[in-house]
Amino acid sequence: MFITLAIEYYMKNMFLIENYNVKVSRISIVQKLSQSKVDKLLDEINQAEQKKKKKCEFLIIDAEAVAGLLHLKACIHYSIKAFQQKNNIANSLKTEILLYLSGYRQISKAISKIGINPKSTDFLFIQILPASSDKRLTLSFEEVLKNANIEIKDFFDDINYLPLLSESKIRKNLNISENEITLLTSDKNCKNREEIIEKLAIEKSALLNINK
Protein backbone atom coordinates (compact mmCIF):
# COMPACT_ATOMS: atom_id res chain seq x y z
CA MET A 1 0.00 0.00 0.00
CA PHE A 2 1.49 3.33 -1.06
CA ILE A 3 0.41 6.24 1.13
CA THR A 4 -1.04 9.33 -0.55
CA LEU A 5 0.18 12.41 1.29
CA ALA A 6 -1.34 15.87 1.66
CA ILE A 7 1.86 17.60 0.60
CA GLU A 8 2.23 20.57 -1.70
CA TYR A 9 5.36 22.35 -2.90
CA TYR A 10 5.04 25.81 -1.43
CA MET A 11 6.70 29.01 -2.65
CA LYS A 12 10.39 28.70 -3.47
CA ASN A 13 11.85 26.57 -0.74
CA MET A 14 9.07 25.29 1.49
CA PHE A 15 6.68 22.40 1.42
CA LEU A 16 3.19 22.70 2.84
CA ILE A 17 2.50 19.56 4.85
CA GLU A 18 -0.89 19.61 6.54
CA ASN A 19 -0.88 22.93 8.45
CA TYR A 20 2.89 23.41 8.54
CA ASN A 21 5.45 24.98 6.23
CA VAL A 22 8.55 22.80 6.00
CA LYS A 23 11.93 23.85 4.67
CA VAL A 24 14.61 21.21 3.99
CA SER A 25 18.28 22.04 3.39
CA ARG A 26 21.07 19.60 2.61
CA ILE A 27 24.63 20.18 3.78
CA SER A 28 27.86 18.28 3.21
CA ILE A 29 30.90 19.13 5.33
CA VAL A 30 34.57 18.71 4.52
CA GLN A 31 35.69 16.97 7.71
CA LYS A 32 33.95 14.79 10.27
CA LEU A 33 33.13 16.50 13.54
CA SER A 34 34.33 15.58 17.00
CA GLN A 35 31.66 14.61 19.52
CA SER A 36 32.17 17.89 21.34
CA LYS A 37 31.61 19.80 18.10
CA VAL A 38 28.46 17.77 17.38
CA ASP A 39 27.15 18.57 20.87
CA LYS A 40 27.96 22.25 20.45
CA LEU A 41 26.21 22.39 17.07
CA LEU A 42 23.08 20.73 18.48
CA ASP A 43 23.11 23.13 21.42
CA GLU A 44 23.36 26.15 19.11
CA ILE A 45 20.40 24.89 17.07
CA ASN A 46 18.34 24.39 20.24
CA GLN A 47 19.21 27.90 21.42
CA ALA A 48 18.24 29.35 18.05
CA GLU A 49 14.91 27.52 18.25
CA GLN A 50 14.24 28.89 21.74
CA LYS A 51 14.92 32.42 20.56
CA LYS A 52 12.09 31.96 18.05
CA LYS A 53 9.76 31.50 21.07
CA LYS A 54 8.98 27.94 19.99
CA LYS A 55 7.09 29.08 16.92
CA CYS A 56 9.52 26.97 14.91
CA GLU A 57 11.06 23.56 15.36
CA PHE A 58 14.54 22.86 13.99
CA LEU A 59 15.83 19.36 13.35
CA ILE A 60 19.19 18.21 12.03
CA ILE A 61 19.57 14.57 10.97
CA ASP A 62 21.94 12.25 9.17
CA ALA A 63 20.97 12.37 5.48
CA GLU A 64 22.03 8.74 5.08
CA ALA A 65 19.24 7.67 7.45
CA VAL A 66 16.51 8.89 5.07
CA ALA A 67 15.39 6.81 2.09
CA GLY A 68 14.49 9.87 0.02
CA LEU A 69 12.64 13.16 0.20
CA LEU A 70 9.22 11.47 -0.04
CA HIS A 71 10.17 9.25 2.92
CA LEU A 72 11.05 12.35 4.94
CA LYS A 73 7.83 14.13 3.99
CA ALA A 74 5.79 11.03 4.85
CA CYS A 75 7.31 10.84 8.33
CA ILE A 76 6.64 14.54 8.91
CA HIS A 77 3.07 13.96 7.75
CA TYR A 78 2.64 10.97 10.09
CA SER A 79 4.05 12.96 13.00
CA ILE A 80 1.75 15.94 12.47
CA LYS A 81 -1.22 13.57 12.25
CA ALA A 82 -0.14 11.85 15.46
CA PHE A 83 -0.27 15.17 17.33
CA GLN A 84 -3.58 16.11 15.74
CA GLN A 85 -5.07 12.78 16.80
CA LYS A 86 -3.39 12.96 20.24
CA ASN A 87 -1.64 9.61 19.88
CA ASN A 88 1.89 10.97 19.64
CA ILE A 89 4.71 9.24 21.53
CA ALA A 90 7.12 12.18 21.90
CA ASN A 91 6.48 15.58 23.46
CA SER A 92 7.74 17.53 20.44
CA LEU A 93 7.01 17.26 16.74
CA LYS A 94 10.68 17.07 15.79
CA THR A 95 11.27 14.12 18.13
CA GLU A 96 8.17 12.38 16.80
CA ILE A 97 9.64 12.73 13.31
CA LEU A 98 12.82 10.99 14.49
CA LEU A 99 10.73 8.08 15.78
CA TYR A 100 8.94 7.63 12.45
CA LEU A 101 12.14 7.89 10.43
CA SER A 102 13.86 5.28 12.59
CA GLY A 103 10.90 2.95 13.07
CA TYR A 104 11.71 2.81 16.79
CA ARG A 105 9.42 3.81 19.65
CA GLN A 106 12.35 4.52 22.00
CA ILE A 107 13.66 8.08 21.64
CA SER A 108 17.23 7.16 22.58
CA LYS A 109 17.35 4.50 19.84
CA ALA A 110 15.82 6.85 17.29
CA ILE A 111 18.40 9.54 18.04
CA SER A 112 21.27 7.05 17.72
CA LYS A 113 19.93 5.84 14.35
CA ILE A 114 18.85 9.14 12.79
CA GLY A 115 20.67 11.94 14.60
CA ILE A 116 24.04 13.29 13.55
CA ASN A 117 27.21 11.87 15.08
CA PRO A 118 30.98 12.15 14.55
CA LYS A 119 30.72 9.83 11.53
CA SER A 120 28.18 12.05 9.74
CA THR A 121 29.28 14.25 6.85
CA ASP A 122 25.96 14.73 5.05
CA PHE A 123 23.16 16.45 6.98
CA LEU A 124 19.56 17.45 6.46
CA PHE A 125 18.40 20.55 8.29
CA ILE A 126 14.62 20.68 8.65
CA GLN A 127 12.66 23.75 9.71
CA ILE A 128 9.00 23.37 10.65
CA LEU A 129 6.75 26.41 11.02
CA PRO A 130 3.00 26.75 11.53
CA ALA A 131 1.48 27.77 8.18
CA SER A 132 0.21 31.00 9.71
CA SER A 133 3.64 32.08 10.97
CA ASP A 134 6.02 34.60 9.46
CA LYS A 135 8.38 33.00 6.91
CA ARG A 136 11.15 35.26 8.26
CA LEU A 137 11.34 33.01 11.33
CA THR A 138 13.46 30.58 9.32
CA LEU A 139 17.10 30.16 10.29
CA SER A 140 20.12 30.41 7.99
CA PHE A 141 21.81 27.10 8.76
CA GLU A 142 24.70 27.98 6.47
CA GLU A 143 25.50 30.90 8.78
CA VAL A 144 25.21 28.66 11.84
CA LEU A 145 27.84 26.31 10.39
CA LYS A 146 30.13 29.15 9.40
CA ASN A 147 29.85 30.70 12.86
CA ALA A 148 30.80 27.33 14.34
CA ASN A 149 33.88 27.22 12.05
CA ILE A 150 32.62 24.12 10.26
CA GLU A 151 33.94 23.95 6.71
CA ILE A 152 31.14 23.39 4.20
CA LYS A 153 31.68 21.23 1.11
CA ASP A 154 28.21 21.65 -0.44
CA PHE A 155 25.12 23.54 0.69
CA PHE A 156 21.69 23.25 -0.93
CA ASP A 157 19.17 25.58 0.67
CA ASP A 158 16.27 24.38 -1.46
CA ILE A 159 16.05 20.67 -2.23
CA ASN A 160 13.29 18.89 -4.11
CA TYR A 161 15.18 15.62 -4.49
CA LEU A 162 17.21 13.46 -2.15
CA PRO A 163 18.94 10.31 -3.45
CA LEU A 164 19.22 7.12 -1.42
CA LEU A 165 22.63 7.69 0.14
CA SER A 166 22.99 4.47 2.14
CA GLU A 167 20.88 1.45 1.27
CA SER A 168 22.51 -0.61 4.01
CA LYS A 169 21.68 1.91 6.75
CA ILE A 170 18.05 2.27 5.65
CA ARG A 171 17.55 -1.47 5.40
CA LYS A 172 19.15 -2.09 8.78
CA ASN A 173 17.22 0.70 10.55
CA LEU A 174 13.83 -0.27 9.14
CA ASN A 175 14.43 -4.00 8.84
CA ILE A 176 13.87 -4.21 5.09
CA SER A 177 14.69 -7.65 3.71
CA GLU A 178 15.92 -8.57 0.25
CA ASN A 179 12.83 -10.73 -0.13
CA GLU A 180 10.59 -7.68 0.39
CA ILE A 181 12.54 -5.80 -2.28
CA THR A 182 12.24 -8.72 -4.70
CA LEU A 183 8.47 -8.93 -4.19
CA LEU A 184 8.09 -5.32 -5.34
CA THR A 185 10.20 -5.59 -8.49
CA SER A 186 7.03 -6.08 -10.55
CA ASP A 187 5.40 -2.93 -9.13
CA LYS A 188 4.90 -0.57 -12.09
CA ASN A 189 4.93 2.44 -9.72
CA CYS A 190 8.56 1.72 -8.83
CA LYS A 191 11.02 2.31 -11.66
CA ASN A 192 14.17 1.12 -9.91
CA ARG A 193 15.59 -0.38 -6.73
CA GLU A 194 15.95 3.03 -5.09
CA GLU A 195 12.22 3.73 -5.47
CA ILE A 196 11.34 0.27 -4.18
CA ILE A 197 13.39 0.81 -1.02
CA GLU A 198 11.87 4.25 -0.46
CA LYS A 199 8.37 2.81 -0.84
CA LEU A 200 9.16 0.07 1.68
CA ALA A 201 10.73 2.64 4.03
CA ILE A 202 7.52 4.70 3.96
CA GLU A 203 5.43 1.62 4.73
CA LYS A 204 7.76 0.53 7.54
CA SER A 205 7.69 4.00 9.09
CA ALA A 206 3.89 4.03 8.90
CA LEU A 207 3.81 0.87 11.02
CA LEU A 208 4.97 2.88 14.03
CA ASN A 209 1.52 4.45 14.24
CA ILE A 210 -0.30 1.16 13.72
CA ASN A 211 1.72 -0.54 16.46
CA LYS A 212 1.08 2.16 19.07
What's the number of CA atoms in the CB half-sphere (13 Å) around residue 107?
Answer: 9
2 lies in some domain = no
Q: Does a structural domain hold residue 186?
A: yes
CA–CA dist 86, 41 (Å, integer) = 31
Q: How many domains does the chain fold into? A: 1
Region of 23 on the Ramachandran plot (φ > 0 left; ψ -120 to 50 alpha; else beta): beta
Q: With respect to residue 1, please indicate whether it lies within any of the assigned structural domains.
A: no
Q: How far apart are CA 64 and CA 174, in angstroms?
A: 13
pLDDT in tens, 75-117: 999 999 999 999 999 999 999 999 999 999 999 999 999 999 9
CA 139 remoteness from chain centre = 17
> pLDDT tens digits, residue range 29-38?
999 999 999 9
Residue 53 lies in a domain: yes
Rounded Cα–Cα distance for residues 111 and 19 (Å)? 25
* 120 lies in some domain: yes
Query: Is residue 11 in some structural domain?
Result: yes
CA distances from 42 to 56, 73, 193 (A): 15, 22, 34
- Model confidence at 187, pLDDT cuts 50, 70, 90, reads confident
Q: Residue range 19-45: average pLDDT?
A: 92
CATH number at residue 129: 3.30.2380.10
Residue of 59, 73, 80 lying closest to 126 (CA atoms): 59
Percentage of the chain surpassing pLDDT 70?
Answer: 90
DSSP 212: -
Residue 144: its pLDDT value, please?
Answer: 86
| Mean of the per-residue pLDDT values of the chain | 87
- In this prediction, residue 3 carries a pLDDT of 42
Q: Domain for residue 201, yes or no?
A: yes
Residues spanned by the domain of 31: 7-210
Residue 40: what are its φ and ψ, rounded to 5°?
-65, -40
- Coil, strand or helix: which one is 183? helix
DSSP per residue, 98-164: HHHHHT-S-HHHHHHHHB--TT--EEEEEEEEETTS-GGG---HHHHHHHTTPPEEEEESS-S----
CA dihedral 110, 113, 116, 118 (to 10 degrees): 130
Q: What is the pLDDT of residues 117-172, one digit of tens each?
A: 999 999 999 999 888 776 666 788 888 888 888 999 999 987 888 999 999 999 99
Mean pLDDT of 49-53: 79
